């Protein structure tokens, strides 16, 4: 089984711009990538980074470069694979080896780990005809794709795999539940939990 981790190199995580400047977004994105790669290794698999352009820093894991949109880049991997392929998003800062092992070990020709808002945060494709479509409500679209090709889909209901980090509010989950370097990175830069009117958010000390 191949485990592919797509990663956007330039100007990542634009929706975090209200709380992180461009350089910080790059650094935080790399911290989340490091956490995902560590979780894949911990689950007994070797991750392959699928980057949109060459990375400035060396990684111990294989890195392939494909500048095409996410759907096209991942489908190119599936076209050439000839073996099961898992695709794990690079912004799953809560991912653990145990959570990923549930995905990798689940029975089914296509295994899907949905994210909030209708996306697909991780998947495992064993069916040779399955291809991805990450536009819009991709989880629903991937179920439809399985029906079209006659593949049996299995859904893995996982809080840790279902939590991708896109918005400032998502940083709450990283501070509360993150076990890797992304949470440490936030705390080192002064991010703390803030409770206002019963709702939990984040604030930066000194601001």
| Per-residue model confidence as pLDDT tens digits over 30-68 | 999 999 999 999 999 999 999 999 987 677 778 999 999
Quick: pLDDT tens for 91-104.
999 999 999 999 99
Please give the angle made by the CA atoms of 13, 16 and 17, to the nearest 5 degrees: 105
Burial class (CB within 10 angstroms; exposed 0-12, middle 13-18, buried 19+) of 129: middle
Q: What three-state secondary structure class fits 152?
A: coil
Determine contact, residues 64/49, Cβ cutoff 8 Å: yes
- CA 44/CA 149 separation, integer angstroms: 30
Domains of the chain, CATH where assigned: 2-167 (3.90.550.10)
């Amino acid at each position: 089984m191949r485990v592919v981790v797509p990663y956007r190199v330039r100007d990542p995580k634009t929706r975090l711009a209200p709380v992180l400047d461009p350089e910080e977004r790059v650094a935080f994105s790399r911290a989340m990538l490091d956490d995902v790669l560590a979780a894949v290794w911990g689950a007994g698999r070797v991750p392959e980074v699928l980057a949109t352009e060459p990375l400035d820093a060396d990684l111990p894991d294989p890195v392939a470069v494909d500048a095409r949109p996410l759907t096209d880049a991942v489908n190119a991997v599936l076209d050439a694979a000839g073996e099961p392929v898992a695709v794990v998003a690079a912004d799953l800062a809560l991912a653990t080896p145990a959570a990923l092992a549930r995905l990798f070990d689940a029975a089914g020709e296509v295994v899907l780990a949905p994210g909030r808002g209708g996306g697909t945060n991780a998947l495992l494709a064993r069916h040779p005809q399955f291809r991805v479509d990450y536009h819009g409500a991709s989880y629903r679209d991937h179920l439809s794709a399985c029906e079209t090709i006659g593949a049996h889909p299995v859904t893995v209901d996982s809080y840790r795999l279902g939590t991708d980090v896109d918005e400032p509010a998502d940083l709450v989950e990283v501070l509360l539940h993150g076990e890797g370097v992304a949470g440490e990175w936030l705390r080192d830069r002064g991010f703390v939990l803030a409770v206002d009117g019963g709702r939990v958010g984040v604030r930066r000390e000194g601001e």
